[in-house]
Amino acid sequence: MTRGAIIVGGSSGIGEALARKLAADGYEIGLAARRTERMREIGASLPTQAYVATLDLRDTADARRGFFQLADAMPSVDVVVLSAGIGHENPALEWGPECETIDVNVRGFAALATAAVEYFEANPVCASDVDGHLVGISSVASAFGNGAAPAYNASKAFVSTYLEGLRHRQAGRKTDVAVTTVEPGFVDTEMAMGENLFWMCSPETAARQIARAIRKRKRHVYVTRRWRLVSWLLRATPEPLLRRLFA
């Protein structure tokens, strides 16, 4: 039986690497993002069948429509990964970048998380022990407020808390949708803008660890694993000290 995975934000970075990893593991892949040509090129290079949907998360109604069309075009959708996201350094607190971050990372994320759950509840996966698996890419940034990028960190706190809420929502339901929260530290993608940041891993390493979390149906995973320590320290640090680090 063919397994399928939709990756929203599959046109670059972590999403692209995960598409390549899951295709190597035998999944058919649905890629969704704005850069159609780029997704076609990635799709053509995969060893399994690929499907492409052009969508912009800033238009939530259109993005949900695009998601359902993509899902209907695929023989099976077992996994939906929401990797799409943006981040702006915005110390001047201009409204444009803050608004765009909220539109993509919060409204767009929730629009497709709800679409994925709705899809799995209406089309439970037959050949699996769960009825579907939703994976959201949050960030270690969810653990603290950041003066240089307030909307980004807050949007990732939304993503992590929203996914936790979806897990709680599963209790006592007939359909069993697995939900995994992924919190990466630094990953060497377009988002990192060529900076050499500490403990940075390659998108391929991130993809391997996320694929493992999918296989093991983990509720929560840090990428790489050592970021668990950083997240724990950040959550335990008093705000006045955090202010010195992230003003």
Ligand X SMILES: NC(=O)c1ccc[n+]([C@@H]2O[C@H](COP(=O)([O-])OP(=O)(O)OC[C@H]3O[C@@H](n4cnc5c(N)ncnc54)[C@H](OP(=O)(O)O)[C@@H]3O)[C@@H](O)[C@H]2O)c1
The CB-of-37 to ligand X minimum distance in angstroms stands at: 10
Contact between 60 and ligand X by CB under 6 A: the answer reads no
Choose the stretch contacting ligand X; rule: CB under 6 A; options: 18-26, 42-50, 52-60, 233-241: 52-60
Site string for ligand X, 178-217 (x = CB under 6 A): ------x-xx-xxxx-------------------------
Of 93, 218, 214, nearest in space to 148 by CA: 93
The arrangement of strands across the sheet holding 28-33 comes to 50-54, 28-33, 4-8, 79-82, 132-137, 177-184, 220-223
Q: Which of 6, 18, 33, 81 binds ligand X (CB under 6 A)?
A: 33
What span, in angstroms and rounded, lies between the C-alpha atoms of 111 and 116?
Answer: 9
The CB-of-187 to ligand X minimum distance in angstroms stands at: 4
Contact between 97 and ligand X by CB under 6 A: the answer reads no
Q: Which residues pair with 187 in a beta bridge?
A: 201
Choose the stretch contacting ligand X; rule: CB under 6 A; options: 22-30, 32-40, 89-97, 211-219: 32-40
The CB-of-159 to ligand X minimum distance in angstroms stands at: 8
Contact between 104 and ligand X by CB under 6 A: the answer reads yes
- Is 9 in contact with 85 (CB distance < 8 Å)? yes
- For ligand X, which is the closer residue by CB, 38 or 176? 38
> DSSP code of 146?
-
Amino acid (1-letter code) at residue 6? I
Of 152, 62, 70, 58, nearest in space to 109 by CA: 58
Q: Which of 85, 151, 207, 221 binds ligand X (CB under 6 A)?
A: 85
Contact between 134 and ligand X by CB under 6 A: the answer reads no
Residues 6+ apart with CB under 8 A from 97: 88, 90, 151
197 token code pair: 């940041």
Q: What SS3 state is found at 40? A: helix
Q: Which of 5, 23, 137, 213 binds ligand X (CB under 6 A)?
A: 137
- For ligand X, which is the closer residue by CB, 110 or 192? 192
Number of Cβ within a 10 Å radius of residue 56 = 15
Q: Give the binding site for ligand X (CB under 6 A).
A: 9, 11-15, 33-35, 55-58, 83-87, 104, 137, 139, 184, 186-187, 189-192
